[in-house]
Each structure stands twice: as C-alpha cells, then as structure tokens.
Structure 1
C-alpha cells in the first residue's frame, strides 16, 4: 500500500472562489506532510520527499493508536501557539518537535483502498470517520462551503492567518499542480517574505 503518492499542489490565486461547490480551509503556517500507516509501520513524508518520521513523535504515536491499520493522510505539521494559531517560528526552530501535531485535510487511501478518485466531499467524510475518536496529535481541518469564501478570507487576514485554500468538493485528488485547489495568501502575513513553503 505504501507506494508513491504525489502531493496535490494548489494553484496560487488572487481571489477566493465563491461557488457552491467550493470548500474553503484556513491555511495554517506549517510544513506539508503525508502520513502513511501500514500495520505497525508509520512514515511522515515531506513535500520535498524527506522522511521526517523520527522528527514528530506525537503524530506517529497518534497514528499507531488508531484502530485502522492502513491509511494515507495529507496534511500540515503545525505547532499551536498560546493563542491557538499555528506558530511557525516555534515549528521551524526544531526545539518543540515533541509538540508538533498534524492538521489533516485529505485522505488518499484507507484499508487497502485507493480513495484518490473519490470526490473531495467523500474523502472528507472518510477522513472524519477515521479520526473521530482520536483528536490528539492528529486533527481534522475545518472547512466552510460555498459563497462564504471571500468573507472568510477577509476574516482570516484580520486574525493573522496565512490565507485560504479553496478546493472543489466534486473533484478527485490529483498529484502535481491542480487548478481545483486555489491558494490565496494574506499579503500582510510573514510567510509572504519566506523563500520556502
């Protein structure tokens, strides 16, 4: 089951889509990760292809506590600051690796089945079921649907979030640059000045 799963990469946008088929997720400030579990084996793979399994033990422990023995999750490694928002400085320092959690926003495989051809709406349902009783260490990303997108983006900027990622709820998961995932960044956020993501 642990074959190659290419990351879906959002297309950068300048405005947030507002149609009824769009899901909108807050963009937390962290590192993109793919969590792969196959029996007692867990791996955390970065967008650049690095194995960070030993770096983030809380995520690994949480994955192993799940009753489901096979799954692949797409998400973001984050540290929550005292205000509840992600703290990229703490994450990047490497001094708090034991506190790093995974914000899960998609599921690519479960119980030996490849779920990537399912629409996002069904993948989200499967992800919710998988993580329903295991809130610590790995948690599901919240989202809003439809016309609320532009208003949600304005609020995200007000509260200092990195931006929004909007995704078509009726589309499959595809590796590489994807026109059905649109990332709109908060121009005043510190991430805008970084050379890496």
Structure 2
C-alpha cells in the first residue's frame, strides 16, 4: 500500500513552541519544510464556499474535512476555532445481537452479511416504532452467539435480520454508527 503523511499544522519546531502564532504563520513555516513529490505532503487549503467544498469531499468518498480559522492560535481541547465535518455512508449488515445494559444506550452488534463476521456496533437511536419492532424481532429470532463472540449483556439472534446502518467512512469496521432500520433477509 502507498502510505502518505499529510501535514496541516506545525506546533513546535527545534524546541520552539509555535502554538501562539496564527495558523497561517504556522502553515507558512510548515510548507517551507516539506519537499515536493515525497511521501510527506502539505495539506493545501481549499478556498470557496464551505457547502460546495463539503459536497465535493462527500462525493469523492472521503471521510470528511477539517476547517480552521486562519488567524487562530492553537489551543488543545474543544474550540470554536476549528471544526471537523464528517461524511457518512449507509450500508447493510447482518444483525448479530443487541447489547443492553441498565443505564447505558443499546447497541446493535453488526456483522458482514453471509459470514456473520463482526464489524462493529451501531447505536440504536431509531424511532420508538422501529425500536419496538426491533425488540420484538430479536425475541422471536433469539439464537446462539456467533462463534468466538462472548458479550454477557447481549441478546443474540439467528441469521436473517439485516440492518441498515449509517456509519463514518474511512474504516473497514463501523465507526460512529447508528442503526437506521432493519428488515428480514429475502
């Protein structure tokens, strides 16, 4: 695989703390340090309408984008000086089981259709109607845990329930996922 490191900010240089400099000054120093054509690349700023840029990033199948104020100084932790906008995809996965613990949100454990290989969990934040229909189906389709899966707070289901899951792009396993709906396999 071809791996590249894409640099977008510089916080320290030769023992000097650069975090109090405005972002555009830190980036000017950074771009001068990166040779062209190598595996380390500089993340160019995109100019234009934010909604249009995000639309292009979403259409390209990328995970998202980060926006920063040009004049901002670097501060750790939450800030209004930067924003990460995430792109999501929707896919179908086999429902392996529902994990429910008192005082915690419920999660649907999802697997690849056909193989039942676990790919991650999805938060169940669907409508009340969908949740009630889901609990009923889970009770009707109760089954053994897939091979190698041990999670004590999980109600396992037999193969045949397919979930539509909205999830963050960019990884093989589900991230920031939510169960949107489900159906019985055809």
TM-score band by shorter chain is 0.3 to 0.5
Higher helix share: 1
Q: Higher relative contact order at CA 8 Å, sep ≥6: structure 1 or structure 2?
A: 1
